[in-house]
Amino acid sequence: MKKFPEATLRKILEVANLEPEDRGDYFKVLCPSCGHKEAFVYKNNRMIVCSRRNKCNYTKDVIDYAKEEGRLKKDVLKSLAPQIEKKEEVKEATKLVLPEGLSFFSDKKDGIMYRKAYNYLLSRNIPKSSIEQLGYVYDPSKEFELGIFIPFFENNELVYYILRNVDSESKLRYDNPEGIKGSEFVYNYDKIEEGGTVCITEGVFDAISIENYVGTAMLTSSISKSQISKIFDKAPAKIIYIPDNDATGKVFTDKNIFLLNRYKPPSLNTEFYVYIIKEGYKDFNEYAKENGGFIDFKYCIPYQSFKRRITIKRKAPF
């Protein structure tokens, strides 16, 4: 599908008098239904969504709204025609359903749930700069009523999300959108730079805890071919693999780097390293709680050196 240009989206929102405010990955706008400035439109996605839980829940294509209100005149439509896709194409790309009760930390709402969610992230040693890019969902009808909203963007489009439970009483730790596989997507994809360094972790909180490099997460113990392909599309110079600090983590380190090497384009000279977490910490996020989220490269071992240290017998993954 052809991208929806950010400048075009902003122009339409301005013409429609929705007072867009640029919040990085999305525009905050006036809700056409309730009149409160609690609606949002993600960049490269032209759906207006009001986040007022149980009060509004307005959803509409911004083009349809602007046309109905008579705000998009024929001359304006003609000038924007090359950028505006067919309505059927947009509907096909907006199958990701956002959870009710969604708010963003960038809105800085001073409420009980905002503070509870924000303090939870601080307790997990998540950098404040990273918290600003996250959200939270308060919905008492769900199995857990308060969750951290972690969005996945690819080419500035929201493609996936994870909800992390804040309530310790619930047995369900994570919730995800139905019918969409997380293994198809790469967290922080848009932040990976050509010739840069990317860290691969198992859990998304490990990835968010990293402060001095781009962190991404497999979401399981095994990396998928889709994730490998997307990471190499960005042509990183270095990949630092950060396993959980247990025997299983070491076994899957060997298997996952085997796959990375197998599917690495021959034209790339990407170097592979393994980050050794100090004993006593189960994963990088737990380590970061006490030691900070900066990766010290002196603890990064070249993969071949790491492989020689492994004494666990295993079979090749293929």
Q: How far is CA 170 from CA 115, 117, 135, 140, 164, in A?
A: 20, 15, 20, 12, 11
CB 264 within 8 A of CB 270: yes
Q: Which one of 25, 58, 93 terminates a domain?
A: 93
Residue 1 lies in a domain: no
Does residue 102 share a domain with residue 84? no
Does residue 58 share a domain with residue 37? yes
Enumerate the β-bridge partners of residue 157.
154
For the cut 70, the answer to whether the pLDDT of residue 184 exceeds it is: yes
Residue 168 lies in a domain: yes
Q: Tell me, what amino acid is at 18?
A: L
Does the pTM surpass 0.75? The reply is: no
Does residue 256 share a domain with residue 163? no
Calculated CA dihedral for residues 143, 113, 176, 282, nearest 10 degrees:
-100
Distance CA 259, CA 228 (A): 8
Both structure tokens of 85: 């896709």
Half-sphere exposure of residue 63, counting CA atoms within 13 Å on the CB side?
19
Distance CA 146, CA 138 (A): 5
pLDDT digits (tens, 9 = 90+) for 130-154: 998 999 999 988 888 999 999 999 9
What is the CATH classification number for the domain harbouring 244?
Answer: 3.40.1360.10
CB 71 within 8 A of CB 16: yes
Does residue 64 share a domain with residue 128? no
- Helix 225-233 vs helix 247-263: angle between axes, to the nearest 10 degrees? 60
* CA–CA–CA angle 109, 112, 116 (5° rounding): 95
String of DSSP letters for 165-189: E--TT-S--EE--TT--GGG--TTG
pLDDT digits (tens, 9 = 90+) for 195-235: 999 999 999 999 999 999 999 999 989 999 999 999 999 99
pLDDT digits (tens, 9 = 90+) for 77-89: 555 555 444 443 4
Q: How many domains does the chain have?
A: 3
Residue 227 lies in a domain: yes
Q: What is the mean pLDDT of the chain?
A: 83
Does residue 297 share a domain with residue 233? yes
